[in-house]
A and B are shown apart, each in its own frame.
Chain A
Amino acid sequence: MKPAPFEYHAPTTTEEALSLLAEHGYDAKILAGGQSLIPMMNFRLVQPAILVDLNNIPDLAYINPGDDGGLRLGSMTRHHQVETSPLVAERAPLIHETMPKIAYPQVRSRGTFGGSISHADPSAELVALSVALDGNFRLRNRDGERWTPAREFFVGLFTTVLEPNELLVEASLPPMPPHSGWSLKEVARRPHDFALIGVAAVVTLDEKGLCQQARMVLISAGDVPMVAHKAVELLKGQAPTAEAIKAAAEVAATEDIDPSSDIHATAEFRRHLANVLSRRALEQAFQRAAENK
């Protein structure tokens, strides 16, 4: 038994959870799947006074079709549910393809979509994918709700715009436009470990086969999911030739990211990987977009 003592609450409705957060504010910590929080509590890196466990709120776990043709995911939807959902496979193939790469089967049984997003680990795949897919998050407190685009949600290392009294209750992922392609490439020391670098790309071609829109987000490349703004600007309106992709990947790796050095890899090696993986991700995404007519 390693975690420090805490007061445990297991509300059965979202309203009850929001009341607890309103009452306890910074003293309370939300427990979702616990696959990141509990290790930190075991190490006593985190010692919350009060734990609000969401695992008994069935209303927060769902995968619904969105009216726009996209997806609505309840924040307590488990990774395993997302991984095996035919609706996700149909409407968000990038998410479907990525799920088996996230941690291990035992972790995917417990880990949740909203938990991963709220934890805001810059090396988490779902954090990057939510930005690459231009998702939106519904945040609720006791008195109301607001929507925040994923691209504005992550503000720093493990830091989001969530207030202490707020709960991420739902993620909305819009459908990809026609003629779109996607890709996720990553390198880890062992498969399923945290990526040394990952790249998520979503691109859309116009009727002439030129790049109409592109979003590329890099994983483990800075304090937040790093959006490759400059690289993508180079591609817009251009034919996705091998040269154009190569140039964009180069810019992504040198100008769009801010990787750090640690025991696993130097920043320099991470930039090298970012260059190679950006190129491969863009190649695959554009190829799929061309096939997706």
Chain B
Amino acid sequence: MKIAITGVGIVSALGVGMAANKERLLSGKSGVGVPRILPTCHKEWPIGEVPFTCDELAVLAGAESSTLSRNILLGLVALKEAVADAGIQSPVPLVSGTTVGGMDITERYYHRWRQGDNGQIALISQHEAGFTTAELARRCGLVDAGTPSTACSSALNAIICGAGMLQAGKARQVVAGGTEAMTLFHLNGFASLGILSQSLCRPFQPDRDGINLGEGAAYIVLEEEQSALKRKAAIYGYLAGYANTCDAYHATTSSPDGDGAYAAMSNAMKMADIQPASISYINAHGTATVNNDASEWNAIKRVFGEHMPEVESTKPLTGHTTSASGSIETVFSIIRMQSRRYSYVMNNAFGFGGNDSSLILSSHPADLPSVSYCNIKECEAVETAGDENYSAYIPMMQARRMTATMRRMVVAAYKAIEKSGVPHIDGIIVGTQWGGMVPTVNILEQMAEQGEQDISPTSFMNSTHNAAAGTIARMLQCKGYNMTFATTAGGMDAAVEAARMSIAAGMAKNMLVCRYDEVDEHWQSLLKMIGKDSKVITKARVICLD
């Protein structure tokens, strides 16, 4: 089957809409500068802000009020453009990646809520990453089909999930991408890791010294080619291949030789059935940290050898738009492919947790394998309680980084694998409602107490939704498909369904599927103020080819 791209919507520091972004990308004028909208005291770190306040974004998005999170507002602006561009008029699926969710709202009110002031407490429900997608879908007449949350590769993994849905025949059109607003939370979190630059970032340069963060959103409309041709839709290009892998090396550091990146790029080329010489351009992840760029460059050299394509990082233009970077840079790859008449271009997006993904686009129709469901066995599920003795499974040096719930999760994973009798796990999918809530609230508490300083780097690296999947992958040395969904529903159904599809698509044979939810007592007391509750779930099962 063939997948065409028939719609695009984008908002970034370069401006609102495809036309503005294209003009600025081609002219090379950066949108990175001193923070003006984010209420931070750290003016020393330049960022790529979308140059509009929330009130202005609400007007652009046609939304009634600015009580929506900046994340939703940015997403709405880009999504409406993509939907209109492709002329979508029916409720097609939306897959949208994010990590911060409604954090910009949470951090605005948290210091008051924690003191019992319940003004605006209803807005706390926006915090959930899954809420962002549900709200975007509702406002655009689409169907919420999931929220990939794999840190900085979230939006690229959303596109990969969207492609899988078309290959499986679940839809003829899918809208996929991601949105991420700047927050104090992740600005200070990245600062705690010591990887922010005080000047314009310099990807792949010997004197590079870190990231400029950025924000934005982008969506593309993926459409089965026959459907696109039938309605004479304009076609930007085609999806030729993709891969999702895990570096399984360290929570925040890439392996020196870039094994995960190497596997992502080579597996994507395998799917596209092309040789390195066919790729003309790579939109690299290129964050401008010493570690990422060295690791990615080594991986690119290993893959391409003497056939080195043009390698570009567009992060000096937009800043690192983290969870949205995968779709924003897919749009930039489309623009480069069109303006330079390239046949094949590649886009890399790598995230903390070792979540490495690559996507290949082509200017001409490309064949992708169809997915047919095969016989799949669901092994027995294991649910762990709070009194597990974890020391038999987790070495002390690793356990010390984990919250009690994370340890329970890892034990459930090991026990589920034991029960299944499967010798080797080659894919991991985790569903979680709130992600790492204990480390998240720890950082919110630190910011409420001491302002924007001395954030714990350990808490920040554990706060992302994909921390559990990354941890388990490292412990199992599982370098295959690795995915985390932020999911509002409490069960494992969404993750199990995603596992079935990934196995059918040949991305893994023996998948570990987990449901991970952590409760923080401060957070719990806030949720009670709106009559909500959260509970600890640590459940795992293996799903495999029968």
Genuine A/B complex: no
Residues of A within 8 A of B (CB): none
Residues of B within 8 A of A (CB): none
